[in-house]
Amino acid sequence: MDPLHFAARSGLVELRCGSATFLSVSDSAIDFGCDYCRDDQNRFYGHVTQIGSDEGRRMLLLRCPRCGALYENSARGPDLTRRLTETEAERLFPGFKPPAQ
């Protein structure tokens, strides 16, 4: 899926710095699993576990250590975060295997 297409459907926040404009997905458009993974500081600074990556799409697969929710997040550039099901994570990150039940 094209990241900009995803962002356009999910609700954008426009950020401006001088003459540059950046777009970011609004947190209100994301179904976070708990308050811990909703916190930007936890997602962006290594407190939510990175369990996979896709260099071609420049996306990371993250899992919240508290609630277990899965997220796809942009590695660079505008923040594009979305919650994934285990099936979506397997499709987008072929190395990902859900834990055995």
pLDDT of the residue at 40: 84
Residue 87 structural domain: 3-92
Query: To 10 degrees, the CA torsion angle through 6, 72, 26, 17?
Result: -90
pTM of the model: 0.69
Instruction: With respect to residue 101, please indicate whether it lies within any of the assigned structural domains.
Output: no
Instruction: With respect to residue 7, please indicate whether it lies within any of the assigned structural domains.
Output: yes
Instruction: With respect to residue 23, please indicate whether it lies within any of the assigned structural domains.
Output: yes
Residues 15-74: tens digit of each pLDDT:
444 555 444 444 557 889 999 999 888 887 888 999 999 999 899 999 999 999 999 998
Instruction: With respect to residue 47, please indicate whether it lies within any of the assigned structural domains.
Output: yes
Q: Specify the number of domains making up the chain.
A: 1
Burial environment of residue 85 by CB neighbours within 10 A (0 to 12, 13 to 18, 19 or more)? exposed
Instruction: With respect to residue 97, please indicate whether it lies within any of the assigned structural domains.
Output: no
Cβ proximity of 37 and 67 under 8 Å = yes
Give the bridge partners for 62, in sequence order: 50, 71
Instruction: With respect to residue 38, please indicate whether it lies within any of the assigned structural domains.
Output: yes
Residues 29-45: tens digit of each pLDDT:
788 999 999 988 888 78
